[in-house]
Structure 1
Amino acid sequence: MSTQEDETWDDDENTIKFLVASDVHLGYAEKDAKRGHDSLVAFEEVLQIAKKEQVDFLLLGGDLFHENKPSRKVLHGCMCLLRQYCMGDRPCQLEFLSDQSVNFGHSRFPFVNYEDPNLNVSLPVFSIHGNHDDPAGSGNLCALDILSAAGLVNHFGQHPSLDHVEMTPMLLQKGRTKLALYGLGSIRDERLHRMFVRKSVTMLRPRENQDEWVNILTFHQNRVKHGEKNYIPEQFLDSFLDLVVWGHEHDARGLERNDVQDFIVLQPGSTVATSLAEGETLPKKAFLVRVKPSRKMKFEAIPLQTVRQFYLKDIVLADTTLDPNDPEAAEKIAAFCQEKVEELLCRAEEEHTGNKRQPKEPLIRLKIEYSGGFPMFNTNRFGQMFTDRVANAREIIHFYRKKVYEKKGGGGGKEEKWEDEDLTTMIPREALDMARVEDLVKRFFAEAEQNGRMSLLTEKGMGEAVKEFVDKEEKDSIQELVKWQVEKMQKHLRDRKAGEEKIEEEIHQFRQAYQQHAEEEDEDIQLAFERSRSKRPADDDRSDIMDDDDDDLSDEDHPAPTRGRGRGRGRGRGRGATTTSRGRGATTTSRGRGSRGGRGGRGKKSVVTGGSIVDALQNSSSSRSSQRSAAKPSYMEMSDSEEEDSDRGFSMSSKSKGNSKPRGGASQRKGRGIAYDSEDSEDDPFTMPSAKKSRR
């Protein structure tokens, strides 16, 4: 290749350009009069950026929807936006080289949407599911499957197996640039953590010319450590990866290099604030990524201009001049807080982007530590002063008190005690901002006095039951979990023929042994939930296979049950017939729109060999290190522009280059196959445009 091609980033023939966004959370606070449209407005801006930049595809890192079963209003608004910005006559230049019946095997239409002759797709959207919009119900479907069936989104990365995950990449090529895109939809962190430790996660690679492929993984798991197994360490991921797009975490940390595994982690963050936590105050962004034939990548952070502003301020009353013993202390504290809110409102006005679609009313949060005898004031009355100026007027003020320590009697040690008795003050505020309901339950019982702890039920089981009740509205989950564990204990006591005097001892011993067998407890929890789900109405399918963490209550419209329609329209697999009818027999090229008659690699049988992922807890062997040194690109430079939010470029040059000749048409590809190796406007966005606007 020529030097000019290496230096020109806007080379349309050989440069793959895609936009990355994550955690869109469509439908968040949809019933809020002020914030109800925020998520759709931000998503529309992402689509507008993608269209303006003329990217080859849009990559979403999960949680496109905020709820497992979004309302019709939200689903309709999403589909309208996708149809408006993703359909058109602009040809798609990406060749799809891998077996699409494998990449989209869970779909009734197992092929990429831009090669469907019945559709006119100008902007392909690839998305994995997150923990909010994960597959559920007897058909194991999610909202993304509806968009996929409509031809609007390519849903990939679904792995329903509970004990093994095998990731087969989507192999994309444009000119001489080759991209291997892996995807893993959200799986419960503890379960996935156990899979990695057992080497039950397999990532397949093209066997030929491995050093020519840029390997990208789209991931949606906990990156921040919430417990020993409630997150996925970066060291678990294989070192042949070049880029990991990490969804689920809402703070936009941008690009970070992992020197141990030698890959880059891109954490785009969310496009809308779904909590009043400190991480949500960071500017919301989308990231433009360019990939060149020489395996160089360039990243550009694009701040979103329509996102509602959010400001958070910590106040410690003990550090102020206010006197807790003043008879008018509450009024003076309220006046002090009012002054701080006014300052933040002035700041919001100064930092407003000027975009007419960016809301004028910001989100504001004051976290006030009132330890030391300071009184509280009426927060509702305080919020009424800012009803027309702040979006979250009722939630501006958050009072909390810190913990104090007292000496144990005679022991000389320290014992934690809390000034407040409720759960919100027993948990540190930093942890509470990012907490999950099951973690709160576990922490609550861990911090409780001895006589306040459970002796029969397990904290993990109760946490999962509460989470199922909150996230999936399974009203019988707690009852069935309690019933299941009580029955199990009763059976144990009967089998042991324990006398009355030994019952407490047997219960204690059984509970300890039970908690040490995590797999058995997980299985029992799932069986209890299945029993709970079997009790709900037939057309209320919301069971969960890949449940994960978050604590947002579902708020959807339920259809009237009078129509008597079952789930008979569920997606049938029918994979053999579909694959056969869309085989690779056509001789036309699969590049661009004119090639839709030939499906590229969809009908060709690929030779695949399986194996375990490299031991994530140990360093690579010397043989693997030497092999990787020849094929793995080295990151030569990391350039920052003047502003912190500006572009970042990573230049990757491979020491040994494989065959870089441009691929020919289908006549050259015919019969080759791919073999793999296993590596250890201010209008309401929910409404339809008027007839006058649509007739142009």
Structure 2
Amino acid sequence: MKAAGEAGGSSTLRILVATDCHLGYLEKDELRRSDSFDTFEEIFSLAEKHNVDFLLLGGNLFHENKPSRSTLVKTIEILRRRCLHDRPVQFQVVSDHAASLQNLFGRPNFEDQNINVGLPVFTIHGDHDDPTGVDNMSAIDVLAATGLVNYFGKMDLGGSGVGHMSIHPILIKKGATSVALYGLGNVRDARLSRMFQTPGAIGWMKHESTEDISLSDWFNILVLHQNRINGSPDNGINERLLPNFLDLVIWGHEHECLVDPKEVPGMGFHITQPGSSIATSMTSAEAKQKHVLLLEINGMKYRPTNIPLKTVRPFEYAEVVLEDQADIDANDEASVDAHLDKVVANLIEKNDTTAGSGSEPKLPLVRIKVDYTGFLTIHPQRFGQKYVGKVANPQDIIVFSRSAKRRQNTQDTAGGSRELYPNELNQHTVEALVAEINLNMQVLRLDDLDTALHVFVNKDDNMAFHSCLQKNTEEAINMLTASKVDTDIEDGDAMVVHDLDQFMQAREKGRTQTATGAQSLPTSTALSAFEELKCSPDPDQDIRDDSDELIETSDGECHHEKMARPGKRPAPFPATAGGSASSPSSSARGRKTDLASFRAPAVKEELDDRGTKKGRPSPHVAGRYGAVRRNR
């Protein structure tokens, strides 16, 4: 892409780009707890220094899916101090706000008359702070509700098979410069890869040509947060799956700093990967200098400027293969310890010579990856105790590994019995487990169940399975309600099972048909947005009950009609051909259409030896914490 010329400032849009801030990382570490916030403050200082129009964040603003109150308060304090002031905003958003921005106010925060925003912040979510739960909310939604950030790129995946989504751009104009900003928050790589390869699964909403500006005059930017493919398609997204009408792609999630835009051959767009602003994985890729990107756009030209971050804690990395070192005895732990001491000392000395003249120098992070194949190991924590006060991570300076060749030999000689390594632990997907036991589920979708498991384990969301069950149950209930088939009540259960089977087969058929199609990315038109079923109880429903009967309810039930309590009226009946509901007298016929209306069959009364009725066992039994209801 051609660099932007020295055009007048009235039409040059200046954007500061940063990704993966991971606010709250190691907040319980007394030494490193403030690292992420120090760099976040520096990013805002650079934004003010370079007089940018807005700050663009590429996901993972927070390190935890549910950040602590301390982290949330510190973030809000920084945003209020840096974003709320009297500086005028020099650009305008001309797109449909409701389609592109995820907030209830229907406009960007700087257009709200109740708050004075001088530095707008636009952000998508990442894989750490993605929305979860019944209401599909994230910590970013909290910031958006306060009016401190503009949240975009949040998708509702719906439909059969892999699902559907429509990506609406934020249309930004400043003088003669027009920018279409597309956002795509993190979606699980395997599913998103299938969606990219499924015709019609992703709709890219394109701006319309007007008298003032044609379609080709828009500068198209995509911000996404995914793994970049380096092997199996399930482990990342291939950059060639992206549509070729884009001009620039800002890639979040990858922590390695590859900030210089690189052209993708044959695709017509460039990719920039700013990398994280804090080292969290401590790999060789994170040992590079951290940067943010200043993007200046004028018309269809742009100029990138790399700005180094100075508050990032220094990080030194080295790899050691013990087999290649002449001064080490394979059976002597002391010689291994002495050699690694030399390596750590050299890294600390290297950091001291390259460190800047900052007023508060930080202790460095040091990581040594040691290939110990054929050698004895030492205790990493005991080794690190010598460097307390000299490095920031004395507890994990050393990470031991074994070469792939050595591991293969060990497997062969052990006859299948071998040591387990962290990256080789037994892991299964829900799809594999269901296929292994040949389970034919009638209500739950495998994709939804797999996602719920991922969210439950990795996001610590205790409501993940409840949300999955509620969504799939509502779909099944609505399907059964819509199929108004008149049948004998004795055959009601069989008909329910039959209809559920038909429902699942139709859903799987749609998934199979979409999965076998060739890759196609529509750009001129978009699919109609899919609106997920929500459970919204009737506000007019009377929930009072004057009886003493315990009423069992299910959170997964969604009542769209006014319903009384159990025992107050008979179960609903389907409408007759004339349009009116069946009367209770016709209860011998008519199929139930609401799962909530099914009741337990009547219990046959029995007589004791004296000819009197046996009493039914009470549904309330004594428990540890008082009387509890026995569910039958």
Instruction: State the alpha-carbon separation in 1 of the partners of residues 246 and 419 from structure 2.
Output: 48
Alpha-carbon offset, residue 286 of structure 1: 0.4
Residue 59 in structure 1 maps to residue 81 in structure 2: no
2:368–2:399 Cα contact (<8 Å) kept: yes
**Counterpart secondary structure, 2:98:** helix
Which amino acid letter does the alignment assign opposite residue 280 of structure 1?
E
Number of the residue aligned with 1:250: 255
For residues 153 and 357 of structure 2, what CA distance do their matches in structure 1 show?
Answer: 38
Segment drifting more, 391-400 vs 298-307: 391-400
Read off the aligned partner of 2:362 and give its amino acid letter.
Answer: K
Amino acid at match of 1:218: V
Structure 2 residue aligned with 1:211: 216
Deviation at 1:229, TM superposition (A): 2.1
| Corresponding residue number in structure 1 for 2:399 | 398
For residue 74 of structure 1, the aligned residue among 71, 75, 91 is 71
Cα pair 2:124 2:184 within 8 Å, conserved:
yes
Between the aligned partners of 1:179 and 1:384, the Cα distance in structure 2 is 53
* Secondary structure, aligned partner of 2:86: coil
* Alignment-derived partner of residue 157 in structure 2: 161
Q: Is the 8 A contact 2:65 2:130 kept in 1?
A: yes
**Would the alpha carbon gap of residues 134 and 323 (structure 1) be closer, same or farther in structure 2, given more than 3 Å must change?**
closer
Compute the displacement of 1:400 (Å).
1.9
SS at structure 2 position matched to 1:205: coil
Larger mean CA deviation between 399-408 and 168-177 belongs to 399-408
Equivalent positions of 1:395-544 (< 5 A) are 395-404=396-405, 421-424=419-422, 427=423, 440-441=424-425, 444=426, 459-461=428-430, 489=438, 521-526=446-451, 541=463
List per-residue Cα deviations over 1:96-142 (Å, max 9, x = no partner).
Answer: 111112112x4212210001001111100000001100111222111
Measured in 1, the distance between the counterparts of 2:28 and 2:408 equals: 49
Residues 211, 333 of structure 1: alpha-carbon distance in 2 compared, 3 angstrom cutoff: same
Kept after mapping to 2: 8 A contact 1:361/1:389 = yes
Aligned to 2:246: 241
Distance 2:257 2:185 in 1: 20
- Asked if structure 2 preserves the Cα contact closer than 8 Å seen for 1:189 and 1:230, the reply is yes
Q: 5 Å matches for 1:616-635?
A: 617=519
Q: What is the match of residue 516 of structure 1?
A: none
- Determine the C-alpha separation between the residues in 2 that align with 1:96 and 1:216: 15
Tell me, in whole angstroms, the C-alpha distance in 2 between the residues paired with 1:308 and 1:234: 31
> Which digits, 9 at most, give the CA deviation of each residue in 1:141-186, with x for residues without a partner?
1111111111100000111224111111110000110000000111
Find the aligned partners of 1:249 and 1:618 in 2 and give their Cα distance.
26
Percentage of matched positions with identical amino acids: 36
Which residue number corresponds to residue 121 of structure 2? 125
Residues 193 and 230 in structure 1, CA contact (< 8 A), matched pair in contact too: no
1:608-633, Cα deviation, whole Å (9 max, x unpaired)? xxxx9xx995899xxx9xxxxxxxxx
From 331, 339, 362, the counterpart of 2:342: 339
**Displacement of 1:381 after TM fit?**
2.0
Look up the match of 2:371: 369
**CA contact 2:4–2:297 (8 Å) conserved in 1:** no
Once the two structures are superposed, what CA deviation does each residue of 1:572-608 show, in whole Å capped at 9, x if it has no partner? xxxxxxxxxxxxxxxxxxxxxxxxxxxxxxxxxxxxx
Q: Deviations over 1:411-455 (max 9, x none)?
A: xx989989961213xx5xxxxxxxxxxxx55xx47xxxxxxxxxx
Partner of 2:354: 351
Task: Read off the aligned partner of 2:74 and give its amino acid letter.
Answer: G
Query: What residue identity is the alignment partner of 1:164?
Result: H
Residue 417 to residue 242, structure 1, CA distance change in 2 (3 Å): farther
Q: CA RMSD in A?
A: 3.4
TM-score by length of 1: 0.62
Gaps of 5+ in 1: 428-439, 446-458, 464-481, 496-518, 547-611, 625-675, 680-696
Deviations 1:652-683 (A, max 9, x none): xxxxxxxxxxxxxxxxxxxxxxxx7559xxxx
Amino acid at match of 1:55: V
2: distance between equivalents of 1:24 and 1:184? 17
Question: Could you tell me which amino acid in structure 2 is paired with residue 335 of structure 1?
Answer: A
Question: What residue number does 1:197 align with?
Answer: 197
With over 3 angstroms needed to count, the CA separation of the structure-2 counterparts of 1:302 and 1:177, relative to structure 1, is same
Write out per-residue CA displacement over residues 211-245 of structure 1, whole angstroms, 9 at most, x where no aligned residue: 11100000011113352322111111110100000
Secondary structure at the aligned position of 2:312 is classed as coil
Among candidates 306, 331, 334, match of residue 311 of structure 2: 306
Aligned pair in 2 of structure 1 residues 221, 544: CA closer, same or farther (>3 Å)?
farther
* Equivalent residues of 1:125, 1:152 under 8 A apart: yes
Q: Would the alpha carbon gap of residues 315 and 322 (structure 1) be closer, same or farther in structure 2, given more than 3 Å must change?
A: same
CA deviations over 1:483-509 (Å, ceiling 9, x no partner): x889x64779xx9xxxxxxxxxxxxxx
Q: Taking structure 1 as reference, are residues 330 and 6 closer, same or farther at Cα in structure 2, changes over 3 Å only? A: closer
Shift of 1:321: 1.0
Give the Cα separation in 1 of the matches to 2:353 and 2:282.
21
For 2:22 and 2:4, the matched residues in 1 are separated by: 38
- Report the number of matched residues: 464
Q: Aligned partners of 1:528, 1:275: CA distance in 2, in Å? A: 24
CA contact (8 A) 1:135 1:544 kept: no
Selected match of 2:111 from 108, 111, 115: 115
Inter-partner Cα distance in structure 1 for 2:133 and 2:69: 18
Q: Structure 2: how far apart are the matches of 1:299 and 1:325?
A: 51
| Distance 1:524-1:122 versus aligned 2 partners, 3 A rule | closer
The CA distance in 2 between the partners of 1:14 and 1:544, in whole Å, is: 50
Change (3 A) 1:545 1:210: farther
User: Is contact 2:91–2:174 with CA below 8 Å preserved after alignment?
Assistant: yes
Residue identity opposite 1:249 in structure 2: E
Name the residue aligned to 1:379. Answer: 380
Per-residue CA deviation, residues 238-279 of structure 1 (Å, 9 max, x unaligned), is 101000000011101122110221101011100001112111
1:572-587 equivalent positions in 2, closer than 5 A? none
Q: Which runs of 5 or more residues in structure 2 are unaligned?
A: 469-513, 528-632
2:149 partner letter: V
Is contact 1:404-1:418 (8 Å) kept?
Answer: no
Q: Which residue of 1 aligns with 2:535?
A: none
**Aligned equivalent of 1:90:** 87
Return closer, same or farther for 1:205/1:489 CA change in 2, 3 Å cut-off: closer
3-state SS of paired residue (2:79)? helix
Q: Which residue does 2:271 correspond to in 1?
A: 265
Once residues 370 and 16 of structure 2 are traced to their aligned partners in structure 1, the CA distance between those partners, rounded to angstroms, is 39
Kindly tell me: are residues 491 and 18 of structure 1, through their superposed partners in 2, closer, same or farther at Cα, counting changes over 3 Å? closer
